[in-house]
Amino acid sequence: MAQLKTRLKEYRLSAGMKQDELAEKVGVRRETVIRLEKGLYNPSLKLAMDIAKVFETTVEELFWFE
């Protein structure tokens, strides 16, 4: 099975943003952001697009399967 990989933490830290700040911007709990950053949660397409919009990048830049 493919493993979800992400650059979410890298982007978040570069933006000087805390996990709870990102969570609030995209309408999820902080725990969801933690699980996303660890690759333990596969985001819905809407959530992935909302996160990409926050960082002004593409979904493919933030998430991929290996």
Instruction: Tell me the two tokens of residue 47.
Output: 């959530």
Residue 63 domain-assigned (yes or no): no
Residue 34 domain-assigned (yes or no): yes
Considering its fold, how many domains does the chain have in total?
Answer: 1
Whether pLDDT at 1 is above 80: no
pLDDT at position 21 is 98
pTM recorded for the entire structure:
0.92
Please identify which residue in the block is written with the tokens 């890298």: 10
Domain of residue 41: give its range.
Answer: 4-57
For residues 41-66, give the mean pLDDT. 96
Residue 19 belongs to domain with CATH number: 1.10.260.40
Digit-coded pLDDT (tens) for 15-36: 999 999 999 999 999 999 999 9
Residue 18 domain-assigned (yes or no): yes
Residue 26 domain-assigned (yes or no): yes
For residues 44-55, give the mean pLDDT. 98
Residue 23 domain-assigned (yes or no): yes
